């Protein structure tokens, strides 16, 4: 599979050079692999740090900026960053009021952030962590590593980021982040696998009429293989899975997210079905995102994330944000 | 065994991981995210470099340096896990005034400590389809060999074949830890990449020993 | 090729339903195929209308809103809209100060907008048109339909939109639009063809190491076929083609645009090379866009658009904009 | 020829376009954007519907309705071009107090007017690899047949085969108009889709005439 890269080895560094050139509001260390606000930490503000494997762009580096993350640390493709990056990111985010780690629930991310938290705590930084685990395709049981963190990560970063920007304490920002996660569920569908630059071949093969239901964001196959259907049915499958896990009602923030190689026109087709079917289930789409936010390299497919809003969360969602990938109000 | 032996061991692991990089990645592609080969190649390559740059004076320090390097360079699940394994093994060999020679019994104790570190951090038990399924039987085999008064070569061969058998035994298992657990029953039928790499680590003990002899 | 649609026949309508559900700031007629600002025309403001075939999302509908277009009319996939849609869009955009049509230079768009302009002029609306033709891959000569309109369309719509929002007259908005077009050049590269929903098969076939240089945005092949190279070389090819046509210097607005199925991480890798090589040519990247703005369904590849800025254009680029796909300052 | 004949003609075009839709689209995929079949199918289908909904009383009005429907439903380059062709042809048949029968000479004059409309709008000349390369020779063949006092069947067959030959002659041409011109020399070796559809339009005159006889 052809890719617009210089080499598999340098892709993350090269992309960070591009991010740096494109966004003067970011301070980017392409070799050290950290991205933070160019203004440095905001004194007295709780810092927000996230990170994870690369290949999910714009997550997380694209969400660094006013009203969202203070710093991000991108790992190798699909590989959790190492504690050293997290420590550097923490320093870039620490305004003296403590730092919240937004951690997607994958063993690698969890372990590395744990090690980093220990190191930073030893340095006297107050660290809290929130585990994002919104993917209903994985049964959350003793027999798994727990649900994966996927689309809800964007919601957690935006809403907790707004709380932090508004001056909330570390405990309060953490509570808000946990609440967003608790109120959010996702389900993803792949029409094709993705190909990592290092391997050069798709991680799994799908036939002309096959799809994977319940995929993750690391090229792993899903809960089950199925046959291709129209957008209406795929939306129903995703919403059924979400609804079964978290009964849907009231106002919702809804994201229809592309996996990286899905044209926007198709995402809008899916969103039309999702919105209509949510209305049929008595849910009002109060806020929405349609586009590529949490991707899986060049995977074709989509995920749906639903977050049940209340007034506070809506207000925090609407608060100004200024990052490469999400911007409004300034 | 001295630091020369352990340096050979780490170099042997790095060579084996590089040689088997694609196989590890393919195992990980089947039930994970296709990076295990690259992860360990990066990590053990860095460890070899770190030992060359600043050769530690004692076996314990050497293993701790390897562990720290893996933690700071690998990322993913295997970085902290293998990193902790080597770091804890190094710690068990003592942290000050260390001996420059370690016995087979010392090494067995150290690897037991490393295994404990892995299970403490990752809370995987045998049967969960992880590196622990190769690591645990290998450590047991080593301990049995020590009890039986076996020589190094015999002990390492027992450990290596136990690790290999443990790795192969992961094929039919349904994963309960790590990424493969997301697949549920679909994870059966594939060897766990971490168990496969763990078998390489124990096999490299034999190679290091032969280089010694 | 699998697609997230209900049927090839309804894809445009369905996507417009999704657009409508996602963006309360837009008034969308999915069947009549027009998109306009929900507030209606702004009295006394010059109206901006654009349109063209669908399949280039977010172009044009995603650029309707404050500071940019007043209305857009999306045609069938890769097919110019019909004059009737344009007449409706004109009515939705006409605040009494005249309406500017932003027309990409394709025979179909040109002819249909001409017919619409005649009809609207008969109704007493003052109509002006700007032809966007920035694609240097096509020789602009008597022996072609002229250069195609591609990436610069976004620049023209944004900058002319800001001028219109600022109260400029139709003549002045038209002049600004023409100036942006005159100062802009694009060049595109495809790693794969795209597949229209109706045909179901790629419009051309590329081997594992083949690429098309100088592609358009309608699935047509490019100026020449070539072999795959790394991002650095591809950026150089694109910049050489641009530079040859319009010598580069000074401050530039630069877009690295994805063709629809290109992961963002790859676009940033390309942008890193583009920015570095522009610096080497003495050009400063003063403003930039990296992402999917003018796509070609599920084509893999990118295009580079360079616009040489002056102070006025920079100020207009920086002016507030609030559309689904481009937003800052409010 | 009366409105019944012209209605059969338009229906025949619609049928031919539907039957050849994929071929037209494939021709357009090679040197354009793969929509010509869908465009004309939509347009002539709508024209048939429009004629059925509100059958015009006179030939001129009928062709104008067809032209207007094509313009308002097709889009792309071919919509305005074919729409103008039919509209101008209808206009040439008179706009008020129209005759209900038109002669072969009237039709030839009308199609000449249609062709003029196309070249005025699109400024393509013969040899530019467009619909004009089929349209122009077909109109000339019709005019020649009229001058020679040929019957309808003979005239239509001459026009149809001239159009077909004209379409086939576009294969080696390098396009100078429309999307295909972007390909420059690479446009050679492919038949122009608009010329191909134009050949269908003239072939449908024969079918309509046979239905008549
Ligand atoms: N909780 C755990 N305990 C022990 N080993 C684990 C655990 N989770 C994952 N592993 C091991 O890690 C291996 C995967 O390593 P790697 O691919 O490098 O990291 P990642 O899964 O983050 O991509 C698995 O094959 C498994 O053996
Ligand atoms: N300037 C022109 N004059 C005459 N015919 C043209 C001109 N431009 C394009 N055409 C015809 O239109 C055909 C393409 O029609 P179609 O595919 O429906 O529209 P589009 O090119 O907008 O997709 C071409 O094959 C050609 O015959
Ligand atoms: Mg990984
Ligand atoms: Mg892995
Ligand atoms: Mg077209
Ligand atoms: Mg076409």
Question: Taking 50 as the threshold, does the pLDDT of residue C279 lie above it?
Answer: yes
Q: Characterize the bridge pairing of strands C127-132 and C99-104.
A: parallel
Q: Do C4 and A261 touch (CB under 8 A)?
A: no
Residue ID of nearest Cα to ligand 1 atom 17? B36
Query: Does residue B32 have its Cβ closer than 6 Å to ligand 1?
Result: yes
**C contact test, residue of A192, A265, A284 with most C CBs within 10 A:** A265
Which chain C residue shows the shortest CA-CA distance from A261? Answer: C261
Q: Chain C contact for A201, CB < 8 A?
A: no
Q: Characterize the bridge pairing of strands A99-104 and A184-192.
A: unpaired
Note the ligand closest to the C-alpha atom of C145.
Answer: 2
CA of B194 to the centre of ligand 1 (A): 6
Q: Which two tokens stand for residue C177?
A: 């639009």
Which pLDDT does position B212 carry in this prediction?
57
Q: Which atom of ligand 1 is nearest to the CA of B193?
A: 25
Span A186-203, pLDDT tens digits? 999 999 999 999 888 898
Q: Chain B contact for A204, CB < 8 A?
A: yes
**Hunting for tokens 């860095």 — which residue is that?**
B46
ipTM of the complex: 0.95
Which pLDDT does position A129 carry in this prediction?
98
Mean per-residue pLDDT over chain C, rounded: 96
Q: For residue C157, which of C181, C182, C137, C136 has the smallest C-alpha distance?
A: C181
Q: Chain A contact for C109, CB < 8 A?
A: no
The least confident of A291-300, C62-71, D32-41, D98-107 is: D98-107
3-state helix, strand, coil in chain A (%, to 5): 35, 30, 40
Q: Chain A contact for C234, CB < 8 A?
A: yes
| Spatial separation of the C-alpha atoms in residues C26 and C43, rounded to whole Å | 17
**A contact test, residue of C264, C275, C288, C293 with most A CBs within 10 A:** C264
| Spatial separation of the C-alpha atoms in residues D21 and D37, rounded to whole Å | 4
- Residues of chain D with C-beta less than 8 angstroms from the C-beta of C137: 182
Cβ neighbourhood burial of C39 (10 Å; 0-12, 13-18, 19+): exposed
Span B181-199, pLDDT tens digits? 998 899 999 999 999 999 9
Give how far Cα A143 sits from Cα of A110, A137, B30, B127, B181, Å: 17, 14, 19, 11, 7
- Residues of chain C with C-beta less than 8 angstroms from the C-beta of D33: 53, 78-79, 196, 203, 218-220
Q: Do A58 and C260 touch (CB under 8 A)?
A: no
Q: Which atom of ligand 1 is nearest to the CA of A218?
A: 23
Q: Which residues of C16-36 are buried (b: 16+ CB within 10 A; e: fewer)?
A: bbbbbbbbeebbbbbeebbbb
- According to CATH, the superfamily of the domain at C11-182+317-328 is Dihydroxyacetone kinase; domain 1 (3.40.50.10440)
Q: Do A231 and C58 touch (CB under 8 A)?
A: no
Q: Which two tokens stand for residue D40?
A: 């004309």
DSSP state of C5: -
Which chain C residue shows the shortest CA-CA distance from A271? Answer: C18
**Fold equal for A11-182 and A184-316:** no
Which of A82, A111, A219 comes nearest B33 by C-beta?
A: A219
Q: Characterize the bridge pairing of strands A127-132 and A99-104.
A: parallel
Domain ranges within chain A, ordered by starting residue: 11-182, 184-316
Q: What is the mean pLDDT of residues C277-285?
A: 97
Which of A4, A19, A273 comes nearest C234 by C-beta?
A: A4
Q: Tell me the three state secondary structure of residue A234.
A: helix
The active-site residue out of C23, C60, C143, C218 is C218
Give how far Cα D55 sits from Cα of C268, D50, D66, Å: 59, 8, 11
Ligand 1 test: best mutation among A52, A103, A107, A109, most atoms within 8 Å of CB?
A107
Span D50-74, pLDDT tens digits? 999 999 999 999 999 999 999 999 9
Q: Do D179 and C219 touch (CB under 8 A)?
A: no
Span B67-107, pLDDT tens digits? 999 999 999 999 999 999 999 999 999 865 667 899 999 99
DSSP readout, C200-258?
Answer: -SBSS---TTEEEES--SSS---SEEEE---HHHHHHHHHHHHHHHS---EEEEEEEEE
Nearest-Cα distance to chain B for A222, in Å, is: 7
Q: How confident is the model at residue C281 (pLDDT cuts 50, 70, 90)?
A: very high
Query: Does residue D36 have its Cβ closer than 6 Å to ligand 2?
Result: yes
Which of C79, C114, C148 comes nearest D39 by C-beta?
A: C79
Which pLDDT does position B96 carry in this prediction?
58
Span C106-133, pLDDT tens digits? 999 999 999 999 999 999 999 999 999 9
- According to CATH, the superfamily of the domain at A11-182 is Dihydroxyacetone kinase; domain 1 (3.40.50.10440)
DSSP readout, D90-121?
Answer: HHHT-SSS--S---HHHHHHHHHHHHHHHHHH
- Residues of chain B with C-beta less than 8 angstroms from the C-beta of A188: none
Q: How confident is the model at residue C267 (pLDDT cuts 50, 70, 90)?
A: very high
CATH code assigned to A184-316: 3.30.1180.20
For residue C56, indicate whether it is catalytic: yes
Q: Do A266 and C4 touch (CB under 8 A)?
A: yes
Domain ranges within chain B, ordered by starting residue: 3-212
Which pLDDT does position C143 carry in this prediction?
79
* Fold classification of C184-313 (topology level): Hypothetical Protein Tm841; Chain: A;domain 3 (3.30.1180)
Question: Taking 50 as the threshold, does the pLDDT of residue B213 lie above it?
Answer: no
Which pLDDT does position D213 carry in this prediction?
47
Q: Chain C contact for A293, CB < 8 A?
A: no
Low-confidence ranges of chain A (pLDDT < 70): none
- Residues of chain B with C-beta less than 8 angstroms from the C-beta of A84: 72
| Spatial separation of the C-alpha atoms in residues C212 and C209, rounded to whole Å | 10
Residues in chain B, overall count: 213
Q: Which CATH number fits domain B3-212: 1.10.800.10, 3.20.20.140, 1.25.40.340, 3.40.140.10?
A: 1.25.40.340
| Spatial separation of the C-alpha atoms in residues D189 and B125, rounded to whole Å | 67
Q: What is the mean pLDDT of residues C177-190?
A: 98
């Amino acid at each position: 599979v052809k890719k617009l890269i210089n080499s598999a080895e340098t892709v993350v560094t090269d992309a960070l050079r591009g991010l740096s050139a494109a966004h003067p509001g970011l301070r980017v260390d392409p070799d050290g692999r950290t991205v933070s606000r160019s203004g440095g930490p905001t004194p007295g503000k709780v810092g927000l740090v996230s990170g994870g494997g690369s290949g999910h762009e714009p997550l997380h580096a694209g969400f660094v900026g006013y009203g969202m993350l203070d710093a991000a640390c991108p790992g190798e493709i699909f590989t959790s960053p190492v504690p050293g990056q997290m420590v550097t990111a923490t320093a870039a985010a620490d305004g003296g009021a403590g730092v919240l780690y937004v951690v997607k629930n994958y063993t690698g991310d969890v372990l590395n952030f744990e090690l980093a938290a220990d190191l930073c705590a030893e340095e006297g930084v107050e660290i809290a962590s929130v585990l994002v685990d919104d993917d209903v395709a994985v049964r959350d049981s003793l027999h798994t590593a727990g649900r994966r963190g996927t689309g809800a990560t964007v919601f957690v970063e935006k809403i907790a980021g707004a709380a932090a920007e508004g001056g909330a304490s570390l405990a309060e920002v953490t509570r808000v982040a946990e609440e967003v996660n608790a109120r959010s569920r996702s389900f993803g569908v792949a029409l094709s696998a993705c190909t990592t630059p290092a391997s050069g071949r798709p991680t799994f093969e799908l036939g002309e009429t096959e799809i994977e239901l319940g995929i993750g964001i690391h090229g792993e196959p899903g809960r089950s293989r199925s046959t291709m259907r129209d957008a209406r049915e795929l939306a129903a499958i995703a919403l059924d899975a979400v609804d079964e896990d978290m009964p849907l009602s009231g106002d919702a923030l809804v994201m229809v997210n592309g996996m990286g190689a899905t044209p926007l026109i198709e995402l809008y087709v899916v969103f039309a079905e999702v919105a209509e079917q949510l209305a049929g289930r008595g849910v009002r789409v109060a806020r929405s995102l349609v586009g590529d936010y949490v991707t899986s390299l060049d995977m074709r497919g989509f995920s749906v994330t639903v977050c049940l809003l209340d007034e506070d969360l809506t207000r925090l969602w609407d608060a100004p944000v200024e990052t490469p990938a999400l911007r409004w109000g300034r | 065994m001295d630091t020369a032996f352990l340096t050979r061991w780490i170099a042997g692991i790095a060579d084996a991981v590089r040689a088997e990089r694609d196989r590890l990645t393919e195992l990980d592609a089947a039930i994970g995210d296709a990076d295990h080969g690259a992860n360990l190649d990066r990590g053990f390559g860095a460890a070899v470099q770190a030992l060359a740059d600043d050769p530690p004076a004692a076996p314990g320090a050497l293993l701790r340096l390897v562990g720290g390097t893996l933690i700071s360079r690998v990322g993913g699940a295997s970085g902290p896990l293998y990193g902790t394994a080597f770091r804890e093994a190094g710690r068990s060999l003592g942290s000050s005034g260390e001996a420059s020679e370690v016995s087979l019994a010392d090494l067995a104790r150290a690897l037991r400590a490393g295994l404990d570190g892995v299970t403490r951090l990752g809370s995987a038990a045998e049967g969960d389809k992880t590196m622990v399924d190769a690591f645990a039987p290998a450590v047991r085999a080593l301990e049995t060999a020590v009890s039986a008064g076996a020589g190094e070569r015999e002990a390492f061969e027992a450990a290596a074949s136990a690790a290999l058998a443990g790795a192969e035994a992961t094929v039919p298992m349904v994963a309960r830890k790590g990424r493969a657990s997301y697949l549920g029953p679909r994870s059966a039928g594939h060897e766990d990449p971490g168990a496969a790499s763990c078998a390489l680590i124990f096999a490299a003990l034999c190679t290091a020993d032969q280089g010694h002899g």
